[in-house]
Chains A and B, each alone.
Chain A
Amino acid sequence: MGQVTFKNVSKSFGSTNIIDGMNLEVHNSEFLVLLGPSGCGKSTTLRLLAGLETVSSGTISINGRDVTELEPRERDIAMVFQNYALYPTMTVAQNLGFGLKAKQIPPKLIKEKVNEIAYLLGLTHLLNRKPNALSGGQQQRVAIGRAIVRKPKVFLFDEPLSNLDANLRLEMRAEIMKLHREIGATTIFVTHDQEEAMAMADRIVIMDNGSIEQIGTPTEIYFQPKTFMVAGFIGNPSMNFIKGKISNKMEISMPIGRIKINALLNLGEDIEVGIRPEKIKLADSKSKSTEIKVTVLVTYVELLGPRAVVKMKHESGQELTSVIEHDEIESYKVGTEINISLASQALHFFPKN
């Protein structure tokens, strides 16, 4: 199948840098998700790989072959666009077969392959319809079918699920994963939905402002965020950040208190201390040196089915958000003061930027 390499790839429009010296290796048969806020360059990365935009510098290769200067049609890739980009004047069957026609495959064989894909995706009864007579989910399926029928080296998906309603999105997500397992083609999937990225990816690439912040498995990205941006971007509700200063070699002082940690730090440095909402627990009576006990005022409780989001405020003005299980909700009453504990092993430290 396909292995994709970006080497020092940059893209600028005029004086604006969209992609800045990107290095990325996508493994064979991998499901790689490009994730980031809108405007971070993830779609541009995809379009560069597809050949729909030209790179300003650097090289892109697929299976070791330099494709930087090649036209999209010469790269042996398939792409599913956000709006599906189905050809409105053609039937479903013609849409599916259009790419094969370009390869000058005999019509009889095209028909066979189209029927096979239509069967695989449950489109057989729709083959003679025009795209405007299909539902969103069916259009999506045709777009995916059109991509896989050509058996390309690499599949590119540009936010393909964002136009679907919530249920259908879950369904199509599962279907894409299933197809990926069956076909095993290298897939690069762009999304701004972190839940989607977490659920689908073998590895996630987090991008911001045209450069890669972190590459890792969903677990790594979530539990070991390398940068402040990644820590804040991943997780919902997002990570709590508390400004701190290294006051002693192994101690950090924050507006809410001091904490000892097992790492050597630069004295006097300003840092951001992060803690995931679900790591904020109610304090018990035992006192440990590796945790801070803090008294906070509960300001808001939002019930989300089995879980609830609690907003709290410390007397220093520091706000914290935690996620609790439904059965704990009795302990968090709006307007009351509670004691919580922040364990040092749950803390993340980032240099202040």
Chain B
Amino acid sequence: MIVSFENRLLQFIGIMAIFMAIIVVLFPFFWIFLESVKPPSLGGRPDIWRFELSWENWSEVLLNSSVPLNIMNSFFIAFITVVISLICGAPAAYAFSRFRGFQGARYSILAAEMMPPAILILPLFLILYKLELIDSRIGVVTAHLTFVIPVITWFLIGFFDEVPKDLEDQAMIDGYTRFQAFYKVILPVVRPGLGAAAVFGFVLSWNDLFYSLLLTGAGSRTLPVAIASFWTFRGIELGKMAVAILIAVIPVLILSYFIQKHLIKGIGGSGVKY
């Protein structure tokens, strides 16, 4: 293939643009990483680039802080939130996909999503307080369900829309109830969607700061809250904070990579098709 000079130039400019974009996106991560391996004595000095490598921040955070417990909390909360959200969201999404009586119902889930969380926090706080669930992981799970269930439901509608209705009709003729058809035939077909929705919901819960900040205490504190708490009255412990940030970000990056293909389909695929 003969490639003209102009095409080559365009290609070169394109590649350079992508490079720039990558640098812009990745530089903060690189900078946070540098911050995490600076000696604590240089902490809070982002302008210093030459220093001796030190793992002190890492060992301090991993061995002598509450961060491991916070990771466990975050993991537990995100996991339980996702499991409950899938159990509720998958049948809901299936119903929204198959029974199209009132189109507005479909969009009402989005409306729930668009409400500022501040509206819910007061009633949630009061209810959890009465139930003595403040500073408990279950309390945070309850709060997270308010935004993860709608997202997962919305996310899955597009996947169910793509499964031909004939499949469950066939299963019902083959001798199964609609619910059996749903979980024996339809759910296995949308498994990639369930996986992607699970990861998406997990990341949402994992990253949440607002509810966790207000509903947790020492025992149930999540990782984002822990990151924020390195901002103390003595100043920002930037090195330790950097370590915690990296720990928080890495699973998100890895998971996002695996679901990127389905992520776009899930977010974009729930639109009106008819």
> Is A87 a contact partner of B177 (Cβ separation < 8 A)?
no
Which one, B176, B188, B191, contacts A102 given CB within 8 A?
B176
> Is B172 a contact partner of A99 (Cβ separation < 8 A)?
no
Q: Chain A 62-104, CB within 8 Å of chain B: the 1/0 string? A: 0000000001110101110111010111000000001100110
In the complex, the chain A residue whose C-beta lies closest to that of B187 is A89
Which one, A51, A77, A85, A150, contacts B167 given CB within 8 A?
A85
Q: Which residues 152-180 in B have Cβ within 8 Å of A in the complex?
A: 164, 166-167, 169-177, 180
Number of CB contacts from chain A to chain B under 8 A: 60
The majority secondary structure among interface residues of chain A is loop
Q: Which residues 239-298 in A have Cβ within 8 Å of B in the complex?
A: none
> Is A79 a contact partner of B173 (Cβ separation < 8 A)?
yes
Does B16 sit at the interface, judged by CB under 8 A?
Answer: no
> Is B173 a contact partner of A98 (Cβ separation < 8 A)?
no
A41 to B241, CA, bound (A): 68
Does B34 sit at the interface, judged by CB under 8 A?
Answer: no
Does A144 sit at the interface, judged by CB under 8 A?
Answer: no
Does B185 sit at the interface, judged by CB under 8 A?
Answer: yes
A81 to B177, CA, bound (A): 19
Question: What is the CB-to-nearest-CB distance from B55 to chain A, in angstroms, rounded to a whole number?
Answer: 47
> Is B176 a contact partner of A81 (Cβ separation < 8 A)?
no
Does A50 sit at the interface, judged by CB under 8 A?
Answer: yes
Interface band, chain B: 10 to 19
Question: What is the CB-to-nearest-CB distance from B180 to chain A, in angstroms, rounded to a whole number?
Answer: 8
In the complex, the chain B residue whose C-beta lies closest to that of A82 is B166
Does B61 sit at the interface, judged by CB under 8 A?
Answer: no
A75 to B188, CA, bound (A): 26
Residues of chain B lying within 8 A (CB to CB) of residue A87: 167, 170-171, 185, 189
Question: What is the CB-to-nearest-CB distance from B162 to chain A, in angstroms, rounded to a whole number?
Answer: 11
Which one, B166, B173, B188, B191, contacts A73 given CB within 8 A?
B173
Q: A73-B177, A87-B185, A89-B188 are in contact. Are A81 and B169 (CB under 8 A)?
A: yes
Does A52 sit at the interface, judged by CB under 8 A?
Answer: yes
Does A203 sit at the interface, judged by CB under 8 A?
Answer: no
> Is B170 a contact partner of A79 (Cβ separation < 8 A)?
yes
Which one, A47, A52, A73, A83, contacts B174 given CB within 8 A?
A73
A286 to B185, CA, bound (A): 71
Which one, A47, A50, A73, contacts B176 given CB within 8 A?
A73
Residues of chain A lying within 8 A (CB to CB) of residue B180: 102
> Is A81 a contact partner of B175 (Cβ separation < 8 A)?
no
> Is A73 a contact partner of B185 (Cβ separation < 8 A)?
no
Residues of chain B lying within 8 A (CB to CB) of residue A77: 173
Interface band, chain A: 20 to 34
A82 to B170, CA, bound (A): 11
Question: What is the CB-to-nearest-CB distance from A302 to chain B, in angstroms, rounded to a whole number?
Answer: 38
A81 to B171, CA, bound (A): 12
Residues of chain A lying within 8 A (CB to CB) of residue B171: 87, 98
> Is B172 a contact partner of A72 (Cβ separation < 8 A)?
yes
Does A146 sit at the interface, judged by CB under 8 A?
Answer: yes
A99 to B164, CA, bound (A): 19
> Is A83 a contact partner of B166 (Cβ separation < 8 A)?
yes
Residues of chain B lying within 8 A (CB to CB) of residue A81: 166, 169-170
Question: What is the CB-to-nearest-CB distance from B161 to chain A, in angstroms, rounded to a whole number?
Answer: 16
A311 to B169, CA, bound (A): 47
Q: Which residues 2-61 in B have Cβ within 8 Å of A in the complex?
A: none
> Is A71 a contact partner of B167 (Cβ separation < 8 A)?
no
15 chain-A/chain-B pairs, Cβ below 8 angstroms = A52-B172, A72-B169, A73-B172, A73-B173, A79-B169, A79-B173, A81-B166, A81-B169, A82-B166, A85-B164, A85-B167, A87-B167, A88-B189, A89-B191, A102-B176
By Cβ-Cβ distance, the 3 closest A-B pairs, closest first, are A102-B175, A99-B174, A85-B166
Binding site for B on A (CB under 8 A): 47, 50-52, 71-73, 75, 77-79, 81-83, 85, 87-89, 98-99, 102-103, 146, 150
Given contacts A52-B169, A73-B176, A87-B170, 18 further A-B contacts (CB under 8 A): A47-B169, A51-B173, A52-B173, A72-B169, A78-B174, A81-B170, A83-B166, A85-B166, A85-B169, A85-B170, A87-B167, A87-B171, A87-B189, A89-B188, A98-B174, A102-B174, A102-B175, A150-B174
